[in-house]
Homo-oligomer: A and B are copies of this chain.
Amino acid sequence: MRQHLPRVAVPRFSTYLRCLDELGPGIEHISSDRLASLAGVSPAQLRKDLSYFGSYGVRGVGYRAGVLRDEIRRELGLTREWPWVLVGVGNLGRALAHYAGFAEQGFRLVGIFDIDPDKVGTMVAGQRVEPLESLARAVRARAARIAVIATPAEAAQGVANLLAESGIASILNFAPTILHVPDAVNVRRVDVSSELQVLAFFLHEAAVPAP
């Protein structure tokens, strides 16, 4: 089929990949029913998603797990390295810096930055924390295309401005605020408060059904 992937399918592929990895190398073949149930989507959804890349299944049998994993990794662009920088070394920043899973996926942390002079120079996850003034230069010199912001809300927009000027392509924002950046910069937000509010809404809705 080979037509372009719907935006919303991208995170699903990420999930499929994780499920395949969790299966381990022992599994040779897997059916759409089985993988879909692991991933929490419908079998039709899974087959449709996989069909965007072409036909990698075997009718009557299922998908070759190894082939499928490699194919998804190739299509998502995970066969190369993606250097990224981290800004903000609070508890959250530290957790992100230490998370080894990123490196396994090809995400290589090439710089950690903070505005606090007490933190600059300390070691986090084997790297020296650098001052914010070095950020723009480092992004360019180390060819980082992705930045993760884990600062307090008040600092986030300033950091985003610095990053935008330095030519960063993508920002993952953990600060609880909406960033305004040029169109060329792709922002994704992870907002824990918002996630809790969504859960609360569904509880609330179940208790107080709409009139």
Q: Inside 8 A of A190's CB, which chain B residues have their CB? A: 190, 192, 195
Please pick, from B2, B14, B98, the residue contacting A211 in the complex, using a CB distance under 8 A.
Answer: B2
The segment from A26-34, A62-70, A77-85, A111-119 found at the interface with B is A77-85
Q: Is A96 an interface residue (CB 8 A)?
A: yes
Q: Inside 8 A of A78's CB, which chain B residues have their CB? A: 197, 200
Cross-chain contact B186 with A99 (CB below 8 angstroms): no
Interface residues on A, range: 35 or more
Cross-chain contact A194 with B82 (CB below 8 angstroms): no
The segment from A42-50, A130-138, A171-179 found at the interface with B is A171-179
* Chain copies in complex: 2
Cross-chain contact B188 with A199 (CB below 8 angstroms): yes
Alpha-carbon distance A18/B178, docked complex (angstroms): 8
Q: Inside 8 A of A96's CB, which chain B residues have their CB? A: 192
Given known A2-B211, A95-B95, contact A196–B146 (CB-CB < 8 A): yes
Q: Inside 8 A of A11's CB, which chain B residues have their CB? A: 191, 194, 197-198
Please pick, from B105, B196, B207, the residue contacting A197 in the complex, using a CB distance under 8 A.
Answer: B105
Alpha-carbon distance A15/B198, docked complex (angstroms): 11
Alpha-carbon distance A92/B99, docked complex (angstroms): 10
Can you give 8 A-B contacts (C-beta < 8 A)? A5-B210, A17-B197, A18-B177, A18-B178, A19-B178, A82-B203, A146-B196, A170-B199
State the 7 A-B residue pairs at the shortest beta-carbon distance, nearest first: A77-B204, A91-B95, A14-B194, A92-B95, A170-B199, A14-B197, A91-B94
Known: A11-B191, A11-B198. 18 other contacts (CB 8 A): A11-B197, A18-B177, A18-B178, A38-B178, A77-B205, A82-B196, A82-B203, A84-B196, A99-B193, A102-B193, A105-B197, A107-B193, A107-B196, A146-B203, A169-B203, A172-B195, A188-B198, A190-B195
